[in-house]
Structure 1
Amino acid sequence: MRRRAVITGIGIVSPSGMSTGEHWETITSGRRRIGPISQFDASGYPTTIAGEVAGFDVTGRVDGRLVVQTDRWTWMSFVAAEQALGDASLDLSTLDPYRVSVIMASSSGGNAFGQKELQRLWSRPDRTVGAYQSIAWFYAATVGQLSIRHQAKGPSNVLVSETAGGLDSLAHAARMIDRGVSVVLAGGLEAPLSPYALACQVRSGRLSERKDPESAYLPYDADASGYVPGEGGAVLVVEDLEHALARDAPVIYGEIAGWGVTHDGEHTVRGSGGSQRQYTRSMRLALDRAAAAPADVDLLIPDALGVPENDATEAGAITEVFGEGGVPVSTHKALTGRIYQGGAALDVATALLAIDRQAVPASAGTHTPAPGCDLAFVPETKQAVVDVAMVSAHGFDGYHSSVVLRRYQGRT
């Protein structure tokens, strides 16, 4: 019999807030948290606004020696994991360390640390970098640091599949639970705001160049012009159901009921929105694994890239699976920026909070839907039955992932 994977803790570090309460308040009120980039002078770039985690400070929360060895991206993971474990009332030091895993997602690693070391390399006559460059910048650094910090010695991995990775981490966590692990720290975070990192993102041609936060990021809209980058994400405590029940976990937000992962099988060229067929397959695979029908889904949180051709592909896939207006759709990236793999993990947190609060949050950023993108966007936050939610991601270069979350009804 398959061991069931449930989520018992949520930790959030995001432009929308640094707690589940702050995040929920931001998305339900429709408050935009994007604005001019403050971490460096971005005035020379075509994109000058982003979603930043305001007031983020690890002073007193992370040992000073570790701060100088790691990047802002890893600091965020420390804080989010601390929140998630506290939310789950789980002390990992009391568990068998070989049954605790860390499975996270990241697109590019420690950008600010790498920026500092690159500037050192090219500005000094000795042409050297610091000793911690390789372990702070490396895309798996956060997984390594979290596993050391919490003495997690079970199978650990980092997923790199653009936005889809934030969902792939949950699918892999569920597989690890089924193979005998008791607890997995899953999710994803990103800190892609540094001069060279922004230059790389601008090169894609998908970023919005508008200066007004109100109009810069408009997914599915007739006036869409690209997306705004953001930082942060979420850490989720994924736990074996029987383990959670045995320790009387204070809350079970939901169960990872199904997942589907597909790929276009070809390089995505600029101007292509990717394969609607493969995106559709990922949704149907997730539903099949969850033994759910499209009509069972009470809320869908999509990728919502804000690039017209990608939005059209995603909207087409949603309509193909659910029918016209067949599922309530809500997206909040217009409020926070697109946080890449951290954004997908944050969407999962939003879906779990919707299940927990039995409410659907209002969708943000779409005023006049573009042709083919007239989905059933949730116009305002309202109480509603949310037993099943789907989160989908439509990553660059052909990655597609969907996850189905189901309310745990074993106890009230």
Structure 2
Amino acid sequence: MWRQPKAVWAVAFACVVAFMGIGLVDPILSSIAKDLHASAAQVSLLFTSYMVVMAVAMLITGFVSSRLGAKRTLLLGLAIIIIGSVAAGCMSSIGGIVGWRGVWGLGNALFIATALSTIVSSAKGSVAQAIILYEAALGVGIAVGPLLGGILGDISWRGPFFGVGVLMAIAMVATVFLLPSGNVKGKPISILAPFRALRHPGLLSVAITALLYNFGFFTLLAFTPFVLEMPAIPVGLIFCGWGLALAYTSVFVAPRLQARFGTLRPVIGSLTCFALLLVVMAIFTANKPVLVICVIAAGLFLGINNTLVTEVVMKVAPVERPVASAAYSFVRFGGGAVAPWLAGKLGEEVSPHLPFWVGAGMVLIGALLLAVTRRLFASVDATDTAPAPAAGSLEEAEDLTLAEEMA
């Protein structure tokens, strides 16, 4: 699994940097609120604008990538992220940062959806192994993001935004030189394709489950730094531990659980455990050691969930993988868009305990939905023996994947 073409490693490295952006702002939320005299709900809009734009933009990723080709779409996404992150760091108002953070989300949408399908199409080994590589990149990015954000944020809250710009420029250079150029596919993907894909009951069910789970995920990510009330570096270290736990279970634990129990049971179990951790955080919101332990422990269950749910998405719907990824991401990021703002609002105006209760309830409903509709995923655990292309250009990999899906 680890002997991959240079193209796969180039995209994986860019994924690490892209996913840093999710947790990078965590340690500086309180600093931004203090320096710009903004409320928790206003600062949480940094997540909301990012996720709203990303969710909507997911609908056009297949349309764009099928016309520009994977490499050009990845480079376009990276360029937009650089512009959005650097411009956000130059702003002096919360509205300006929120606006440019939305531009950042547009770039991330173009990059993430294309990167997943590119890794799956061009990696050696099975689809499951390719997804593990993708989730490993996600986990490392999520782990390093808060740590880097804490270190740079201790100097200035603007530091993490400029840091992303520099790292994305490096990722862009790596993508230019290491990823082979592929021609535009012969059959462009319709802009309505993601909506048509959501007609498939299995894909719609898992997407709604992810939307509900994201309420808990982004409540943890966006609201916990406010109740911790710690400086940037300690918050960064806490969420780095969370990301490392997520990366470990994504790569090493999820495949073993899947081999022993199938795909659905570990997902339902991990969601239930995550909901219980949020309940503990809701009860002991004023106890910082308990919050720290729960945040890091949550990473263990989120890693299992992320890897296995992504595999379900790639297998359950009889559509092209970029279309399945775009449709799924459009729905699930809706939860990521609403949850940060709602958590900040409820925490400020009602009770700091309430956001965690709401997040726990949403995650538990997601687990129940998946349990009720599990018959839709009976084919997911079929033996995955078809390897991804071992060598050749990205264009050849895409053609082989398309032929496999048509067959």
TM-score (norm 2): 0.29
- Higher RCO structure, 1 or 2 (CA under 8 Å, sep 6+): 2
| Structure having the larger proportion of residues in helix | 2
TM-score (norm 1): 0.29
| Structure having the larger proportion of residues in strand | 1
